[in-house]
Amino acid sequence: MKFKESFFISHPTTIQVLIYAGLIVALWIIELWIFLPPIKEKWSHTSTNALFILTGLPIQLFMSVFVLMTSAWAVRLHFGLLNQLSFSNSIFIKYFVGFILLDFCEYVYHVVMHKVKPLWNFHIIHHTDQQLDVSTTVREHPCETFIRMCFLIIWVLILGASFQLLLIRQTLQSVANITSHTRFRFSAKIVNLIWLLFVTPNIHHVHHHYQLPYTDCNYGDVLSIWDRLFGTYSKLEPVDTVFGIDTHMDKNVCKSFIRTLKIPFKSLQ
């Protein structure tokens, strides 16, 4: 038991990568089994998205070192909001509050990526996928990966988030992000139970609709409460949802890894 706990704590990146990869593969197979898309078409789509792992993962791993260094520094010097508040020696309450604050920070990050034009130029790559499925999760421009990790460093510094809190947060965030990008739609019964708190595929699919105002709604990461609080929540029937982004609907571009990577730089010209 001690070995397992020690391995989990001392190899956070390995654990997250294993969970991330395992869940994506499992859900990819389930999508194939339930929706029965042409295997060639699904494999071609997945292959394009999978190439983004080659550009994004090295940056993610490299920047994770600085995230952990920032966290260690903040905890050691008792720096950041969470280290200034009193939680009556309850580590559970501290983690609970920390998780909620980090989730709010991710909501802010997502809004910023949409509203600041130079950042949107990179984030738009995620929205160019016209066949949303679980593989869309990894469709992220490498420059956005770097930007996202820089924001995470800022959030860790402001909050003084500990290593353990980050491990819990990043693990649950990975699960939420992956499941919200799947093709599945929850039944009305299930949605009515969880929609007030958590982001579901039903909610996130609307965010991937190709036209405004839906593109600028449902920014939530794990929790859906921020969209409700700040008026960015919206609904759209599945039959009316069209994936993609209206400014980049050329399938020949969106299905090409290299041509998609070039989109942000053409926008900057």
Q: Taking residues 70-92, what's their average pLDDT?
A: 89
Task: Name residue, tokens 């993962």.
Answer: 57
Contact of 45 with 135, CB cutoff 8 Å = yes
Task: Name residue, tokens 């499992």.
Answer: 26
**Tell me, what's the pLDDT at 192?**
66
Cis ω for the linkage preceding 12 (within 30 of 0): no
Complete DSSP assignment for 215-239: GGS---SSBSHHHHHTT------GG
Residue 25 in this model has a pLDDT that exceeds 60: yes
Per-residue exposure over 196-234, b if at least 16 CB sit within 10 Å of its own CB, e if not: eebbbbbbbbbbbbbeeebbebbbbbbbbbbbeeeebbb
Token pair for 201: 């595929």
Mean pLDDT of the chain: 90
Burial of 132 per CB tally in 10 Å (0-12, 13-18, 19+): buried
Query: What's the predicted TM-score (pTM) here?
Result: 0.91
Lowest mean pLDDT among 45-49, 62-66, 122-126, 185-189: 185-189
Contact of 167 with 9, CB cutoff 8 Å = yes
Token pair for 216: 């600028």
CA-CA distance, 106 to 173, in Å (whole number)?
Answer: 10
Q: Write down the domain spans for the chain.
A: 2-267
CA-CA distance, 127 to 218, in Å (whole number)?
Answer: 13
Q: Identify the CA nearest to 224 among candidates 208, 235, 215.
A: 235
CA-CA distance, 43 to 210, in Å (whole number)?
Answer: 23
Residue 248 in this model has a pLDDT that exceeds 70: yes
Eight-state DSSP code of residue 247: T
Computed on alpha carbons and rounded to an integer, the radius of gyration of the chain in Å comes to: 19
CA-CA distance, 30 to 76, in Å (whole number)?
Answer: 44
CA-CA distance, 174 to 23, in Å (whole number)?
Answer: 9
Residue 9 in this model has a pLDDT that exceeds 90: no
- Model confidence pLDDT, tens digit, residues 169-201: 988 999 999 999 999 887 766 666 776 789 999
Lowest mean pLDDT among 11-15, 127-131, 204-208, 255-259: 11-15
- Model confidence pLDDT, tens digit, residues 120-155: 999 999 999 999 999 999 999 999 999 999 999 999
Residue 6 in this model has a pLDDT that exceeds 70: no
